[in-house]
DNA sequence: ATTAATAATACTATATTGGTATCATTAATA
DNA sequence: TATTAATGATACCAATATAGTATTATTAAT
């Protein structure tokens, strides 16, 4: 059971690259540059960055000399943010009989326990920022 | 992102039912009985219990008067055990460029951080036993 | 011999994952 | 203003995973 999906993984690599280079260089990056440096599949990464742009993690510039840039400081971008974009909210308490048979998720001993664990996990994932990975 | 899959969920329900009833009653249960009580799809649950039997969580008895029984005390059956049966080892540190491009998982800042979190998570999941859900 | 249970295995439908392809849009600049 | 170099939107596709169902074999009690 993989916790991180391929697009989350690629997104993190791209963001870390951008954060690293933004310190020395200009801060707009083309997909081609990132693909070359990080050796990721071009069209797939393109779609990933587009999604990050749509979700407000990146800003995109169309046209010649365009590309993508970070909107916020790498210190502000957490793992939780990125996972949420590609894999949705991490939900430890999901119930497969919800509504049908189970009376209430709050009376369920399992979900009650998992809820606490999920909160702890989220707190830890939130502590991992792009900046912390440089 | 659902952490628990449907078969893990159904397995837990079945195991909790068996643990609960084993206290008052005989301890061999047919699939039909569990299906009726927990309202789960019969053939699907059957395959789930067979898998639990194969993995040493349940004992199975063929023939008339047969069924399934718990092998170990409900205190000894942890959530980690059950997740492992149906979803494999929970791996927070999986890397999608392993071997190809990434030099070493141990030099990777992200994986290093996730490894610690994964250990904590595992410890917590291990503390949830079937007995603790009664 | 009959009956009532699991075992093994194959099959199916649907969703998700991982990725590719195409064409439209935009903006710099020669 | 035409060219060029970038992203945007969208559709498509293959492989795998998920969530089951169906069939036949085996086993053990009575």
The pLDDT of B102-124, averaged and rounded, is 88
CB-CB under 8 Å, B90 with A3: yes
Q: What is the pLDDT of residue B98?
A: 74
A40 Rama sector, left if φ>0, alpha if ψ -120 to 50, beta otherwise: beta
Give residue B25's pLDDT. Answer: 66
Q: Where are the alpha helices (DSSP H) in B66-108?
A: 79-87
Residues of B within 8 A of A111 (CB-CB) are: none
Kindly report the backbone phi and psi dihedral angles of residue B28, in degrees, each rounded to the nearest multiple of 5, phi listed first: -105, 130
Q: How many Å apart are B133 CA and C14 C1'? A: 33
pLDDT confidence band for B66 (50 / 70 / 90): very high
Task: Note the pLDDT of residue B29.
Answer: 97
CB neighbours (10 Å) of residue A9?
20
Asked whether the beta carbons of A86 and A5 are under 8 A apart, the reply is yes
pLDDT at A98: 76
- Ordered by start, the domain boundaries in chain B are 6-133
Which residues have a Cβ under 8 Å from the Cβ of A3 and sit 6 or more positions away?
A: B90, B91, B92, B94, B114, B118
What pLDDT, on a 0 to 100 scale, did the predictor assign at position B95? 87
Q: B4-51: per-residue pLDDT in tens?
A: 999 999 999 999 999 999 876 679 999 999 999 999 999 999 999 999
> Distance in angstroms, CA of A48 to C1' of D9?
13
pLDDT one-digit tens code per residue, A89-133? 999 999 888 776 776 776 789 999 999 999 999 999 999 999 999
Torsion-angle region of residue B108: left (phi > 0), alpha (psi -120 to 50) or beta? beta
Nucleotides in chain D with any atom closer than 7 Å to protein CB = 4-11, 18-23, 26-30
Rounded CA separation B98/B95 (Å) = 5
The CATH T-level fold of domain B6-133 is Arc Repressor Mutant, subunit A (1.10.10)
Q: Look at residue B106 and tell me whether its pLDDT is greater than 70.
A: no
Range B65-86 average pLDDT? 96
**Start-end of H helices in chain B:** 6-24, 31-38, 42-54, 79-87, 109-127
pLDDT in tens, A22-55: 876 679 999 999 999 999 999 999 999 999 999 9
Nearest nt to the B62 alpha carbon by C1': C6
Contacts of B113 in chain A (CB under 8 A): 128, 132-133
Q: How far is the CA of B117 from the C1' of D13 (A)?
A: 37
Nucleotides of C under 7 A from a protein CB: 3-10, 17-22, 25-29
Range B103-125 average pLDDT: 88
Instruction: Read off the pTM.
Output: 0.92
Q: Which residues of B touch A36 (CB under 8 A)?
A: none
B96, B100, B122, B133, best to mutate vs chain A, most A CBs in 10 Å: B96
Q: Which residue of B has its CA nearest to A120?
A: B121
Orientation angle between helical segments A6-24 and A42-54, nearest 10 degrees: 80
Q: What is the DSSP letter of A76?
A: T
CB B91 within 8 A of CB A3: yes
Cross-chain Cβ contact A110/B3 below 8 Å:
no
Of the pLDDT bands very low, low, confident and very high (cuts 50, 70, 90), residue A70 is very high
Of all nucleotides, the one whose C1′ comes closest to residue B54's CA is C7
What's the whole-number average pLDDT of chain B? 92
């Amino acid at each position: 059971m993989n916790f991180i999906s391929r697009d989350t993984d690629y997104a993190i690599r791209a963001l870390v690259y951008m954060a690293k280079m933004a310190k020395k260089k200009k801060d707009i990056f083309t997909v081609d540059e990132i693909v070359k440096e990080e050796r990721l599949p071009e069209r797939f990464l393109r779609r990933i960055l587009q999604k990050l742009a749509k979700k407000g993690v990146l800003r995109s510039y169309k046209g010649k000399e365009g590309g993508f840039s970070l909107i916020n400081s790498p210190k502000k971008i957490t793992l939780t943010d990125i996972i949420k974009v590609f894999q949705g909210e991490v939900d430890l308490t999901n119930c497969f009989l919800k509504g049908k048979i189970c009376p209430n998720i709050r009376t369920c001993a399992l979900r009650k326990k998992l809820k606490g664990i999920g909160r702890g996990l989220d707190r830890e994932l939130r502590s991992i920022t792009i900046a912390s990975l440089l």
